[in-house]
Structure 1
Amino acid sequence: MSYLKKSLGLSFATQYTEMAIQFIGVMFLARLITPEEIGIYSVAAFLMAMLHVFRDFGVGKYLIAVEELTPERIRSAYGVAIILAGAIALLLYSSAPLVADFYHEPRVADILVVMSASFALTPLGGLLTAIFRRNMEFKKILIVRVTSSVCHVITAVTLAIQDFGALSLAWANFAGILSFGIAAMILRTKGTPFIPSFKKMREILSFGSINSLGNLVGVLGTNGPDVIIGKVISLAASGYFSRANGMVQMFRTLVNGAIVPLVLPYFSQLRREKGDISQAYRSAVEYLSVFAWPFFTVIGLLALPIIRVLYGLQWDASVPVVQVLCVAGAITSLTTFAADVMIAHGKVGQATVSQVLTQPVRIGAILLASPFGLVAIAAALVLAECYTAAIISRRLHAATGIGLRGVLRSTFKSALVTLCSAAGPALVMWAFMNSEHAWLELVVGGLSALIGWLIGIVWTRHPVRIHLYQAHQWVATRVRG
C-alpha cells in the first residue's frame, strides 16, 4: 500500500504542476485567440484525436497489461507504433485540403499539416511512458510531462502574441510532443530496447484491434460535439462549446489525470496477485465521487464568475452550457474506471462492446439536438450519459461481477458531502445576484465550498478523512522541522 500512496502522490504532483503551467497558458491564450480560432483548432484536433486511436492501437495498454513484458515484446511494440504513426501522419497530411474544403476554412489545412508532423513523433516517448506506468516509475513521468507542458505553453503564447492564431496551438502541440519524446528517451532505464522488431506483431495487433475499436468509438462520442457544432451551427459556437466542455473536463486535469494512469497498472497487478478487484473498485469509486460530485456541483453554481475571471466577458455564452455539462460529468464519474478494470480483468472485448453500444447514442443525441442550440446539445449529452452509465455498469457486472447497486451504495456519503459543499456557493450566488464582482464571488464561493466539503467529510466520517488527517500530520511535521 505504501508504494501505491507514493505513486499516487507523484501522480498528483505531476498533474497539478502540469495544470498550473497550462492554467497560466490558458489565461493568456483566452485573451489572445478568438472563439472562432479556438473552434477552428477544435475541428482539426478532433480529426487528430480520432486518428490517434489508430496510431496508438492499444500498444501502450498492451505493454501495461501483458503478463510478462519481454525485450522482444517491447521491440515489437515499437515496430507496430512506428508503422502506424507513419501511416497516419501521411493520411492526415493528404486529407488536409479535403477537410479545409468541407469547412470552407483554409486555416484548417495549415493546422493539419503541422499535426501530421506531430503524429510522426509520437512513438518517441509514448511507449516509454507506458513502461514507466507499468513499473510505477511516476517520478520519471513527472519530469517528462512537466518538460512537455513548459515547451507547449511557451510555444503557444509566443506564437499567439505574434498573431499566429489557431496555428500557434498546432505548433505548440508539435513542440510538446517533441520535448516529451526527448525527455522520455533520456530517462529510459538502461537496457530498454528501442530498435523495432515485428516478431510479436500478431499478438500486439490482436490485442490492439479490439481495444482500438472501443477507443475510436469513444473519441467519436467525446469529441463529436465540436465537429457537429462547427458544421451545423458555426465555428464560433464550436469554440464556445469547446471552452465550456474544457471547464467541465478540468476535473480530468485536477483528479482523473492523476488517478487514471494508476488504474490499469494497479488493477492488472491486483489480478496477477489474485486480489479482490470488486472491493478495490468500489473503494475507488467511493474516493473518486467525494471529489467529483462536489467539484461538478460547485463549478455549476459558480460558472459565471469562473468563466469571467479565467477567460473574460467574451465567453459568457459558455456559462449555461457549463452548468448543464456538469450534470453529465457527475454521471460519468460513476464509470470512469470501468473500461480499465475490464481490460485488467482480461475482458478487453467487454470494454469495447460498452463503447460500441453507447457512443453512437451520444452522436445521435448531439445531431438531434444541434438545431436547438448549445444548451440543448448539453442536455442531450446528459441523457446520453445516463444511458451510457447503465450499459457500462451492466457490462462491468458481466465481466467482473461488480454490480451497480453496490457501487451506488459506496457513494452515499459522497452525496451528503456534496450537499455540504454546495450550500456556501449557492448562498453566495444568491447574495451576489447580478453582481459585477466576479473575483469576489469566486473567492468567497470557493472558500465556502472548501469549508463545507471539510465539514461534510468529518460529519459523514468518509474514509477519505483518514488520508486527509495523515496528510495534515505529514505537513505539520515538516513545518515544525
Structure 2
Amino acid sequence: MPAGHCYPPKGDGFAMNSVQRSILFSAADRYGSLVLFFVATAVLSRLLSPAEFGVYAVVNAIAVVIAASFQEFGGGNYLIQKRDLSPDDVRSAFTITFGISGVIAALLFVLADSLSQLFAQDSLKGAIEVSALNFLLLPISGTISALLRRDMKFGTLALCNFASGVAVALVSIGLAIAGLSYMAPIWGGLAGNVILTLALLVGHRDPSALRPSLFAYRDIVSFGVYSSGVSVVNVFYNLAPQLFLARIIDFGSVGLYSRAINLTQIFDRLVTQVLNPVIMPAIVARRQAGEDLKAIYLEAIQLLSVAQWPFLIFVALMARPIIAIWLGPTWLDIVPLVRLLCIANMAVFAACLSYPVLVAVGSVRDALISSCISLPPSLLVILGASFCGVQAVAGSALLTLPFQAAVAIYFIGRHLRFGLKDLVRALMKSGLVTAATAFGVAVCAALTEAGLLTSLTGLALASCAAALCWWLGLLLTGHPLLYQLHQAVAGLARITPRWRLSRSAL
C-alpha cells in the first residue's frame, strides 16, 4: 500500500446503508457462535464438575484482565475512531500492542507458579502457561479485526469467527472426553485463536499492516492511557467475583457463579454482542455527519430496554427448567444466583452505549472517570459479600449495578444535555411491555413449579406466552420498536427479489 494512502471514515450515505447490512452480518456471526456455545456448554457441563469449571474460569479471568490492560494501546477502538487513519497509524498500533503482549506472555510464564500458589491450586501453573500463548496471537487478530470493523466488512469477520468457534468447540469437547479435565477448554481456546488468526490473515490479504513502526506512537499512547484504563477497570470488575470466590471460598463456588453469569448474559450474546462491533463505527459516523446524539441515544435505550428487560424477566422466572434442560440437574444450585443476577442486570440496559457515546463526543477521559467513581466502591461491596458465600456475591449486584448505571448515565447526560425526566419518558413504554410479558410468563412458571407441567412443556408454553404478551405490549403502547421492525421487514422484502434475480443470473 502506498505510503500516502489513508483509511478515511465513511460518508453518511454509506454509513446508513452499511449499518443495517453490518448488523445482519454481525448477527449471523454472533448467532452462529451462540449455537456453538450452547452445544459446547451443554456437553462440557456433563463432562466437567463445577470445581473443574472453576479452575478454567479463574485462568480465563486472569488472561482477560491482563489482555484488557494492553489491547487498548493501539487496539480496536483507536483504529476505529481515528478520523484519518494512515498506514503508519496502523503499523504503530500493531507494533505497540505486539511489544506489550510479548512482555506479558513472558511474565505469565515466569509468574505462573506464584499465581498458582496465590490461589492455593498447583494445577493452575500449567493452565496459565498454555493460556499465555494466546497473547502472541491477540495483537495480530485484534489489529486485523479492527480494520475489518472500520471498513464494515462484517461478512469476512463472521466467517473467521465461526471457523474459530468450531475449533474451540471441537477441541474442548474432544479433550474433555479424553479426560483432560479443566485443560480441555483452555487448549480449545488456544486452538480457536490460532484458527482465527490464520483466517483473518487470509481474509484481510494485506500483511503490510503488520510491519513494525513507531511513527505515530504519541497519538496512540495518549488515546490508550484513558481507553486502556477504562477497559482494565471494567474487565477487572466483571471478573473480580470469580477471583474473590476462588481465593476466599473454593473453586466449586467459582464454577457455580461462572455458570450463573453465562446464563444471565445470554441476552448479551443474542443482542448486545451483535450490536457491539457496529455501535462504535456507526455512532462516530453519525456524529461526524452532524446528527443529534441526544435523540440517537434516547431512541437507542428505548429499543435496548424493551428487548433486554422482558428477556431477563423471562430467564429469571423460568431459570429452573432452563437449567435442568440445558446444563443438567447437577447445576440446579445456581437457580437463585441466576434470578438475582437477572434482576440486577436490568439496570445496565444502556451499558453498551456508554463508552461509544463518550468517545464520539470526544470525552474518553470521562469514561475513565465514570468507571473510577463507580467501580471501586462496587468492588468493596463484592469483596465483603464474598465472605458470606456465592449467593451473597450474586445479591450484591442488586446494589452495585444500579449505582454504576446511574453514574454512567449522569456523565452521558451532561454531554448530551438530557435529564431524569427525559430518561423516564424514554423508558416508560418499555416498562409497560416488560410488565405485560412478566404476567404471561409468571403463570407458566407457577404451573411448572407446582409440578403441573414438565420442564420442557412449561418452557415451551412460557416462550409462547412471552412472545404473545410482548407483542401485545408493543402494539398497545405504540413502542418505537414497531417502526424499526416494520423497516427491517420492508428492507428484507426489497432484498429478496434482488437476491433471487442474482441467483437466476448465476
TM-score by length of 1: 0.96
2:130 is aligned with 1:96: no
CA contact (8 A) 1:393 1:404 kept: no
The reply on whether 1:187 has 2:230 as its aligned counterpart is no
What pairs up with 1:149-160 in 2 under 5 angstroms? 149-160=165-176
Q: Could you say which residue in structure 1 is the equivalent of 2:471?
A: 454
What secondary structure, in the 3-state scheme, does the structure 2 residue paired with 1:105 have? Answer: coil
CA distance in 2, matches of 1:358, 1:221: 10
Separation in 2, partners of 1:17, 1:297: 25
Query: Partner amino acid for 2:483?
Result: I
- Structure 1 equivalent of residue 47 of structure 2: 32
Indicate conservation of the 8 Å contact 1:420/1:453, yes or no.
yes
User: Offset of 1:423 from its aligned partner?
Assistant: 1.6
Q: Distance in 2 between matches of 1:58 and 1:280?
A: 29
C-alpha spacing 1:402/1:261, structure 2 compared with 1 (3 Å): farther
What corresponds to 2:262 in structure 1?
Answer: 246
- Give the whole-Å Cα distance in 1 for the aligned partners of 2:229 and 2:411: 16
Call closer, same or farther: CA 1:187–1:441 in 2, change over 3 Å: same
Partner of 1:199: 215
* Pairs within 5 Å for 1:20-99: 20-59=35-74, 60-99=76-115
After superposing the two structures, state which structure 1 stretch, 241-250 or 100-109, moved more.
100-109
* Alignment pair present for 1:220 and 2:223: no
Q: Residue 277 of structure 1 aligns with which residue?
A: 293
Alpha carbons 1:32, 1:160 under 8 Å: kept: yes
Matches of 2:105 and 2:28 in 1, distance apart? 33
Give, in whole Å, the separation in 1 of the partners of 2:402 and 2:37: 31
* Count of aligned positions: 481
Report what 1:9 is aligned to. Answer: 24
How far residue 133 of structure 1 moved from its aligned partner, in angstroms, is 1.2
Alignment partner of 2:46: what SS? helix
Greater CA drift, 323-332 or 56-65 = 56-65
The 8 Å contact of residues 220 and 359 in structure 1, kept in 2 or not, is answered as no
Q: 1:470 to 1:210 in 2, by over 3 A?
A: closer
Query: Is the CA contact (8 Å cut-off) linking 1:335 and 1:393 kept in structure 2?
Result: no
CA drift of 1:403 comes to: 3.6
Taking the aligned partners of 2:293 and 2:151, their CA distance within structure 1 comes to 20
Q: Which moved more, 1:399-408 or 1:29-38?
A: 399-408
- Say yes or no: does 1:267 pair with 2:294: no
Q: For 1:119 and 1:71, how far apart are their aligned partners in 2?
A: 23
For structure 1, which runs of at least 5 residues remain unmatched after alignment? none
3-state SS in 2 of match to 1:92? helix
Q: Does 1:127 align with 2:172?
A: no
The answer for unaligned runs of 5 or more in structure 2 is 1-15, 501-506
Query: Which residue does 2:454 correspond to in 1?
Result: 437
3-state SS of 1:116 partner: helix
Superposed displacement of residue 375, structure 1? 2.2
SS at match of 2:349: helix
One-letter amino acid matched to 2:23: L
Question: In structure 1, how many angstroms separate the alpha carbons of the residues matched to 2:433 and 2:205?
Answer: 44
1:374 Cα deviation from its structure 2 partner? 2.1
Query: Match for 1:160: what amino acid?
Result: A
Give a deviation string over 1:74-132, Cα, whole Å, max 9, x none. 11111111101101111222121111112221221111011101111111211111111
Residue 231 (1) aligns with residue 223 (2): no
1:38-81 residue CA offsets vs partner (Å, 9 max, x unmatched): 11111111111110112303421100011111011011111111
Q: What root-mean-square deviation, in Å, do the aligned CA atoms of Structure 1 and Structure 2 show? A: 1.8
> Shift of the alpha carbon at 1:471?
4.4
**Secondary structure of 2:51's match?**
helix
Where in structure 1 do 4 or more consecutive aligned residues deviate above 3 Å? 189-192, 402-405, 469-479
Change (3 A) 1:359 1:313: same
Q: For residues 429 and 186 of structure 2, what CA distance do their matches in structure 1 show?
A: 43
With 394-403 and 301-310 compared, the bigger mean Cα shift is at 394-403
Q: Matched residues in 1 for 2:172 and 2:203: separation?
A: 26
For 2:379 and 2:309, how far apart are their aligned partners in 1? 25
Counterpart code for 2:241: P
Any idea what the Cα deviations from partners look like across 1:376-428, whole Å, max 9, x if unmatched? 21221110112111211111123343444323321211111111211221001
Query: Counterparts of 1:443 and 1:429 in 2: how far apart (Å)?
Result: 11
- Write the deviation string for residues 186-218 of structure 1: whole angstroms up to 9, x where unpaired: 111557522121111121111111111111111
1:474 is displaced (CA, Å) by 6.4
